[in-house]
């Protein structure tokens, strides 16, 4: 998926891509049992999209991609910090 999006300017996400990404990110519970799955995550965009939180799977694939990648990055940072202590 990364190569497809990085090397093809006309590439777009499909729902199958997003399901795969969510599944892979959810597998991170093996690293941190307190990790909340992607399906329980949300983002708030009060300026661009006022009206409350947007939960994973309820809006566009672009929003779902944002939630999934931020979830992954958040856990990666948490693990990295814990390893340096």
Task: Give per-residue pLDDT as tens, 9-59.
Answer: 787 889 999 999 999 999 988 888 888 999 999 999 999 989 999 999 999
What is the pLDDT at residue 25? Answer: 94
What is the pLDDT at residue 18? Answer: 93
List C-alpha distances in Å: 79 to 24, 32, 83: 17, 8, 6
What is the pLDDT at residue 52? Answer: 93
CB 63 within 8 A of CB 43: yes
Q: Map tokens 């795969």 to a residue.
A: 20
């Amino acid at each position: 998926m990364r190569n497809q999006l990085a090397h093809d300017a006309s590439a777009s996400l499909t729902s199958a891509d997003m399901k795969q990404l969510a599944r892979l990110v959810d597998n991170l519970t093996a690293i941190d049992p307190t990790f909340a799955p992607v399906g329980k995550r949300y983002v708030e965009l009060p300026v661009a999209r006022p009206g409350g939180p947007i939960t994973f799977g309820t809006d566009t694939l672009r929003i779902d991609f944002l939630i999934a990648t931020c979830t992954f990055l958040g856990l990666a940072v948490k693990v990295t910090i814990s390893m340096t202590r």
